[in-house]
């Protein structure tokens, strides 16, 4: 998941904790192996080297592609799983020179989810297009691990509360045994390591999206890692960070990321969704 992953269990014994965390680890690992773009032996690799041929997807992957399609529609094309190819030019690690217009323009024809042919379960990507589910994968893993824990705890008749936290993407199942909500610190994007505020989370998903840890500065200009798939350049003018609460982590993450992609119109988008958010 390229981040710190935690499962917090309230009021369980050592054996129960070991069993439940082992299940959580196995599920998170399964999802990472299946959908990581850094592997050459999974469904993402198969799709990305299909060269215009259709690939029939399993049910779980159909669910994720449908979610990605929803994100694309809701964002007006700004949340685009085919934009990951821009990472070849924008590294955001010790980058001292911006990519040229020519380099960016050479990649843009291969970006644009609307060019894909999606008739579930068959997905056909144009030759040269590559997809990356990283924008929704971690949040999906949080919800799947939470679902697995809830099912297993029901079988074992364990009534404990838990919180799943994968790199700041969070889901809590219920109030703690003492009746208190989980206290979640939201990092201050201007002062890394310091908290901006505390959010009381009784049940549901919480996700943050921002550029406080991934950006570059070139000639005194700051460039966010949040890229506009239509131009190939970073989004400008938006908030440094968006945090959203929703019924589940996938929904919270989707809204937070799409809001950030709206740039200066981020808050207008969030207000239109009628959701709880923090900027």
- Specify the pLDDT at position 211: 73
Handedness of CA 65, 153, 156, 13 (dihedral sign): positive
Alpha carbon distance, N-terminus to C-terminus of the chain: 25
Q: What is the pLDDT of residues 183-201, one digit of tens each?
A: 999 988 887 788 989 999 9
Statement: residue 51 has pLDDT above 90? yes
Sequence-separated (6 or more) residues with CB below 8 Å from residue 272: none
| Contact call for residues 83 and 37 (beta carbons, < 8 A) | no
φ, ψ (nearest 5 deg) of residue 129? -85, 140
Instruction: Specify the CATH architecture of the domain 5-278.
Output: Roll (3.10)
Mean pLDDT estimate for the chain: 93
Question: Lowest-pLDDT range, 51-55, 92-96, 267-271?
Answer: 92-96
Q: Which residues contact 112 (CB under 8 A, 6 or more apart)?
A: 77, 80, 82, 229
Which 3 state secondary structure label does DSSP give 183?
strand
**pLDDT tens digit string along 195-251?**
989 999 999 999 999 876 666 777 767 778 889 999 999 998 889 899 999 999 999
What residue spans define the domains of the chain? 5-278
Contacts of 102 (CB under 8 A, 6+ apart): none
Query: What pTM was computed for the model?
Result: 0.93
């Amino acid at each position: 998941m390229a981040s710190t992953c935690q499962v917090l269990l309230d009021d369980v014994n050592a054996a129960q904790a070991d069993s439940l965390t082992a299940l959580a680890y196995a599920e998170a690992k399964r999802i990472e192996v299946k959908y990581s773009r850094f592997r050459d032996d999974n469904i993402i690799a198969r799709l990305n080297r299909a060269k215009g041929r259709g690939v029939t997807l399993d049910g779980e992957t159909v669910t994720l592609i449908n979610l990605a399609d929803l994100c694309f529609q809701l964002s007006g094309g700004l949340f685009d799983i085919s934009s990951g190819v821009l990472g070849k030019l924008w590294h955001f690690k010790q980058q001292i020179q911006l990519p040229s217009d020519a380099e960016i323009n050479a990649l843009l024809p291969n970006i644009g989810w609307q060019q894909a042919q999606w008739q579930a379960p068959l997905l056909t990507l144009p030759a040269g297009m590559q997809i990356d589910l990283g924008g929704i994968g971690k949040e999906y893993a949080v919800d799947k691990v939470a679902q697995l824990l809830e099912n297993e705890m029901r079988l074992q008749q364990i009534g404990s509360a838990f919180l799943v936290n994968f790199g700041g993407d969070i889901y809590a199942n219920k109030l703690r045994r003492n009746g208190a909500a989980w206290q979640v610190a939201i990092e201050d994007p201007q002062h890394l390591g310091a908290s901006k505020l505390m959010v009381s989370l009784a049940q549901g998903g919480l996700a943050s999206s921002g550029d406080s840890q991934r950006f570059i500065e070139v000639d005194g200009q700051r460039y966010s890692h949040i890229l506009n798939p239509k131009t190939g350049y970073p989004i400008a003018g938006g908030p440094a960070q968006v945090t959203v609460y929703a019924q589940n982590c996938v929904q919270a993450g989707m809204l937070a990321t799409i809001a950030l992609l709206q740039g200066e119109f981020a808050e207008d988008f969030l207000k239109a969704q009628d959701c709880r958010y923090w900027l």
